[in-house]
Structure 1
Amino acid sequence: MDIVTYEILRNGLYATAREMKIAMMRTAGSPIVHSGGDASAAVFDAECQLVAQGNDIPTMLGSAVISTKASVDAIGRDRLRPGDVIISNDAYLGGGNHQPDIQFTRPVFVEGEIVAFVMTRGHWTDIGGQAPGSYTCMTWDIFAEGIRIPPVLLYRDETPVQDVLTLIVQNTRETEVRMLDIQAQYAGCFVGDRRIASMVRKYGKDALKQAMARALDHSERLMREAIRAIPDGVYEAEDRLEPVAGPPGWPTAEIPLKVRIIKQGDGIHFDYAGTGSQTRGGINCPFSVTCNSTWFTVKAITDVSIPINQGCYRPVSIAAPEGSIVNARFPASVVAGNTETSPRIIDMLLRALAPAVPKRVVGQSNGGANSGVFGGMDPDEARVARTRRRYVGTVEPHAGGMGARADKDGVNGVRVYVGNAGSTAVEITEQTTPLLVQEWSLVPDSGGAGEYRGGLTSRRVYRVGYEEATYTVCGERGIHPPLGQFGGLAGSMFHSEVRRGDGSVAKVPAKGSVEIVTKGDVVVLQPPGSGGYGDPHRRDRARLLEDLRDGYVTGAALSDYGLSPAEAEALLAEAAHG
């Protein structure tokens, strides 16, 4: 195949994945999808190998390497027909990452032959379970996390399988919103099917097959070259994962995380032996999530320009003990393993690899989605008539700090690592839910000091308009702060509280608590900050002056940068005079 045809086909596959996600976002019902972009789309070859994806949610796309093949194998490729769509979310039967992320898988037929598969995955704001929003760490097992959907046919010959559809949506708290999400994901798959079929009609099935195989081999070759540049050796690190703040009798000990990395030639092996056993509460990881965390880290420390597909992962091997928190065994609950434990694994891997690639690692970051979840009945009759939603649930990921880099400060107020979804726009929150956002601001001094400063976290403050609702939070780093690299200092920790109308204040731990909130209550949610990079005493004074003027750093933190009281007073005076 000539290079021009190859590049047209290769770029066409990536463009298809991007268009599929756009189709989803335009029609989805969940604000976390249509506003926050918590959705992904990808194209797989006829053998279920990931060949093209959008710039979407890494945790969805990495685990799809496992879940797509699991979905097709469960149904049986011989049973599939044009217009079929498989739905699944089960972490154990379907290879999923966690149950709120619903995967649709569609075969692409041309002249009676499967030439590709397309996949959409979206985060539904509710899939049932014990807590509104289906997002709480305090679950006994996976059955409490919402309806489990093993791979089953949801569409047959372009027509919904009505009994399956009814069974699913009636086990959620927002039936009409779920219907919109289903139709949106179907639309994304439909777009992907049509685009790929069009390419095949123009260039032929053999050309598409060759282009897909070549794309996988090309990414593998580039990844092996990048890995070869990393010094050979054995690299190790360990950390401790914070337990769920459950009721009396639940485990209270921190869970060890441990990794041993063996880099040799153009391959790299990750061994998680020594990591603690799976635990009570939803912080366990399915093996697919641990694989994704590992693949993400390798991609991040090598070359971001390498086209992302399954070829990137061929040089990487992974061993994780079954029954551990990084390879949970049924029926362990897993909802936050995907969003909170996974970033903690990545922070540990970056710490292990820091001696090998010091210029490619960052200070520890905010470590999770840090989601605030509200659920209850909407008392606003006008809004109910407009939205056709009496029950209103919302899941809002919150932006924390990204760790400082070797030559730049960290990024303020951002999701990091495998999350990559935005916070819901204030206007959408206020228009569609009984919540008023009173504050959304960056938090001074929340980024760890360093030659390069850690990124600041953000704070959101809500005034509750529900007559009564649940408030659930699922976050990270409520006990241990995000550390810096190479002498950089730690950033701030997670903080959340409910301020009652009677003047009392309830502190909300990062994992495990459910609070009942009522009209007039004020809820504060502040994710962790991030760690600095390098000795703070080496920070350029011009940068420090700029931080003071921007309000990123206050006088209280100047001693962290080695300033004497007199030097701090002089710098503050200079900042005050513009």
Structure 2
Amino acid sequence: MDIVTYEILRNGLYATAREMKLAMMRTAGSPIVHSGGDASAAVFDAEMQLVAQGNDIPTMLGSAVISTKVSVEAIGRENLRPGDVIISNDVYLGGGNHQPDVQFTRPVFADGEIVAFVMTRGHWTDIGGQAPGSYTAMTWDVFAEGIRIPPILLYREDKVVADVLNLIVQNTRDPSVRLLDIQAQYAGCFVGDRRVAAMVRKYGKDALRDAMARALDHSERLMREAIRAIPDGVYEAEDEIEPVRGPAGWPTAPIPIRVKVTKQGDGIHFDYAGSGPQTRGGINCPFSVTCNSTWFTVKAITDVAIPINQGCYRPVSISAPDASVVNCAFPASVVAGNTETSPRIIDLLLKALAPAVPKRVVGQSNCGAFSGIFGGMDPDEARVRRTGRRFVGMIDPHAGGMGARATKDGVNGVRVYVGNAGSTAVETIEQTAPLLVQEWSLVPDTGGAGEWRGGLASRRVYRVRYEEATFTACGERGIHPPLGQFGGGAGGLFQCEIRRGDSVTRVPAKAGHEIVQRDDVVLLQPAGSGGYGPPERRDRARLLDDLRDGYITPEALERDYGLTAADAAALRAEAADA
């Protein structure tokens, strides 16, 4: 195949994945999908190898390497027909990452032969379970996290299987919104099928197959070259995961996570032996999530320009103890393992690899979705008539700090690592839910001090307009702050509180849900991030800018950056003059 045809086909596959996600976002019912973009799409070859993906949610796409193969094999490729769509979300039977993320898989046929598979995955605002939003970490087992959907056919030859559809949507709190999400994901798969089929008609099945194989081999070759540049050696690190704040009798000790990284030649192995056993509460990681966190880290420390597909992962091998917090066994609950434990694993790997690639790592980051979840009946009769929905659930992923880098400050108010969704727009929240957003701001001093300062956390404050609703917070780093690299300081901790008149209730990072009522005020603030390099080496002009921008308080000059009282006073005066 000539290079021009190859590049047309390769780029066409990536463009197809991007168009599939746009089709989902335009028609989805959940604000977290249509506004926050918490959805992903990808194209797989006929052997279920991921060959092209959008710039979407890494935790969805990495785990899809496993879940797509499991889904097809569960149905049997010989049983699939044109227009079929498999639905699945089950961690144990379907290879998923957590139950709110629902995958649709569709075969693409040409001349009666499967030539590719297309996949969409979206985060549903509610999937059932013990609390509205289906996102509480205080769960005894996976059954409390919502309806489990093993790989089954939801569409047969482009016709919905009505009984399956009804069974699924009626096990959620807002079935009309679930129906829109289902139709949106089906539309994304439909678009992908049509685009890939058009390539086959123009270039032929053999050309498509050869281009896919070549793309996988090309990414593998580039990744092996990038890994070869990392010094050979054994690199180790350990950390601990904060436990769920459960009732009496639940585990209260932190859960250790450990890794040994062995780099030799153009291959790299990650061994998680020594990590703690799986635990009560939804902070366990299925193996698919641990694999995804590992693959993500390797990609991040090598070359971001390598086209992302399954070829990137061929030089990487992974082992993890069975029934551990990084490779849990049925029926352990997992909902926050995907969003909170997973980025903690990435910080662990960066800690281990810092001596090998000091210029490629960052200070520890906020490490979580830090979602604020509300659910209850809408008292606004006009909105109920307009939308046809009495129950309103809202999930709002929050933005913390990203750690400082070797030559730059960290990023303020951003989702990091495998969680690439955006916070929900304030206008969308206030239009669709009984909530008023009173504040959305960056929080000074939450970025760790350093030669390069860590990124700041953002804070959101809601006033409740429900008459009564549940509120659930799910986050990380409520106990252990994000540390800096190479002498950088630690960032700020997670904070959440509910103000009811003159009383204040502190909400832990991982606990059950609270009941809120009209005019209660809820504050949710993710963790910040760590700095990079000794704080005393920070350039004076940057400190001045930080003061003027409100990124640090005047007190931080002496407390965090070691300035003398006289130098701090002079800098404060210069900032005030501006």
Query: TM-score, structure 2 length as denominator?
Result: 1.00
Q: Structure 1: how far apart are the matches of 2:399 and 2:241?
A: 20
- What residue number does 2:418 align with? 418
- What residue number does 2:96 align with? 96
How is 1:550-561 mapped onto 2 (pairs within 5 angstroms)? 550-559=549-558, 560-561=560-561
Q: Structure 1: how far apart are the matches of 2:394 and 2:363?
A: 31
- What residue number does 2:510 align with? 511
Answer yes or no: is 1:68 the counterpart of 2:94.
no
> Per the alignment, in what secondary structure is the counterpart of residue 524 of structure 1?
strand
Q: Structure 1: how far apart are the matches of 2:466 and 2:110?
A: 52
In structure 2, stretches of 5+ residues that fail to align are none
Q: Structure 2: how far apart are the matches of 1:102 and 1:514?
A: 23
- What residue number does 2:323 align with? 323
Q: Structure 2: how far apart are the matches of 1:292 and 1:341?
A: 12
- What residue number does 2:542 align with? 543
Task: Using the TM superposition, give the Cα deviation of residue 518 of structure 1 relative to its aligned residue in structure 2, in angstroms.
Answer: 0.1
- What residue number does 1:532 align with? 531
Q: Structure 2: how far apart are the matches of 1:569 and 1:432?
A: 48
Q: Structure 2: how far apart are the matches of 1:152 and 1:318?
A: 29
Q: Structure 1: how far apart are the matches of 2:88 and 2:287?
A: 17
Deviations 1:11-37 (A, max 9, x none): 000000000000000000000000000
Deviations 1:182-236 (A, max 9, x none): 0000000000000000000000000000000000000000000000000000000
Q: Structure 1: how far apart are the matches of 2:280 and 2:353?
A: 30
Q: Structure 2: how far apart are the matches of 1:193 and 1:44?
A: 11
Deviations 1:307-350 (A, max 9, x none): 00000000000000010000000000000000000000000000
- The one-letter amino acid paired with 1:274 is G
- The one-letter amino acid paired with 2:537 is R
> Per the alignment, in what secondary structure is the counterpart of residue 290 of structure 1?
helix
- What residue number does 2:455 align with? 455
How is 1:73-472 mapped onto 2 (pairs within 5 angstroms)? 73-472=73-472
- The one-letter amino acid paired with 2:131 is A
Deviations 1:234-272 (A, max 9, x none): 000000110000010100010000000000000000000
- The one-letter amino acid paired with 1:545 is L
Task: Using the TM superposition, give the Cα deviation of residue 389 of structure 1 relative to its aligned residue in structure 2, in angstroms.
Answer: 1.2
- What residue number does 2:31 align with? 31
Deviations 1:502-546 (A, max 9, x none): x11100000013110000000000000000000000000000100
Task: Using the TM superposition, give the Cα deviation of residue 562 of structure 1 relative to its aligned residue in structure 2, in angstroms.
Answer: 1.6
Q: Structure 1: how far apart are the matches of 2:99 and 2:105?
A: 16
Q: Structure 2: how far apart are the matches of 1:36 and 1:279?
A: 31
Task: Using the TM superposition, give the Cα deviation of residue 565 of structure 1 relative to its aligned residue in structure 2, in angstroms.
Answer: 1.1
- What residue number does 1:572 align with? 572
- What residue number does 1:474 align with? 474
Answer yes or no: is 1:7 the counterpart of 2:7.
yes
Task: Using the TM superposition, give the Cα deviation of residue 566 of structure 1 relative to its aligned residue in structure 2, in angstroms.
Answer: 1.2
Query: TM-score, structure 1 length as denominator?
Result: 1.00
- The one-letter amino acid paired with 2:500 is R
Q: How many residues were matched structurally?
A: 577
Q: Structure 2: how far apart are the matches of 1:383 and 1:544?
A: 48
> Per the alignment, in what secondary structure is the counterpart of residue 513 of structure 1?
coil
Task: Using the TM superposition, give the Cα deviation of residue 491 of structure 1 relative to its aligned residue in structure 2, in angstroms.
Answer: 0.2
Q: Structure 2: how far apart are the matches of 1:202 and 1:57?
A: 31
- The one-letter amino acid paired with 1:404 is A
> Per the alignment, in what secondary structure is the counterpart of residue 462 of structure 2?
strand
- The one-letter amino acid paired with 2:63 is S
Q: Structure 2: how far apart are the matches of 1:468 and 1:276?
A: 39
Task: Using the TM superposition, give the Cα deviation of residue 352 of structure 1 relative to its aligned residue in structure 2, in angstroms.
Answer: 0.2
Q: Structure 2: how far apart are the matches of 1:369 and 1:472?
A: 12
Deviations 1:354-391 (A, max 9, x none): 00000000000001000000000000001111121100
- The one-letter amino acid paired with 1:294 is T
- The one-letter amino acid paired with 2:104 is F
Q: Structure 2: how far apart are the matches of 1:66 and 1:367?
A: 23
Q: Structure 1: how far apart are the matches of 2:555 and 2:112?
A: 70
- The one-letter amino acid paired with 2:23 is A
Could you say what the CA RMSD is over the residues aligned between the two structures, in angstroms?
A: 0.4
Q: Structure 1: how far apart are the matches of 2:434 and 2:388?
A: 14
Q: Structure 2: how far apart are the matches of 1:144 and 1:556?
A: 46
Deviations 1:150-184 (A, max 9, x none): 00000001000000000000000000000000000
> Per the alignment, in what secondary structure is the counterpart of residue 292 of structure 2?
helix
Q: Which range is displaced more, 141-150 or 382-391?
A: 382-391
Q: Which range is displaced more, 359-368 or 553-562?
A: 553-562
Deviations 1:248-302 (A, max 9, x none): 0100010000000000000000000000000000000000000000000000000
Q: Structure 2: how far apart are the matches of 1:238 and 1:477?
A: 16
Q: Structure 2: how far apart are the matches of 1:482 and 1:388?
A: 44
Q: Structure 2: how far apart are the matches of 1:545 and 1:562?
A: 15
Task: Using the TM superposition, give the Cα deviation of residue 561 of structure 1 relative to its aligned residue in structure 2, in angstroms.
Answer: 1.1
Q: Structure 2: how far apart are the matches of 1:562 and 1:138?
A: 42
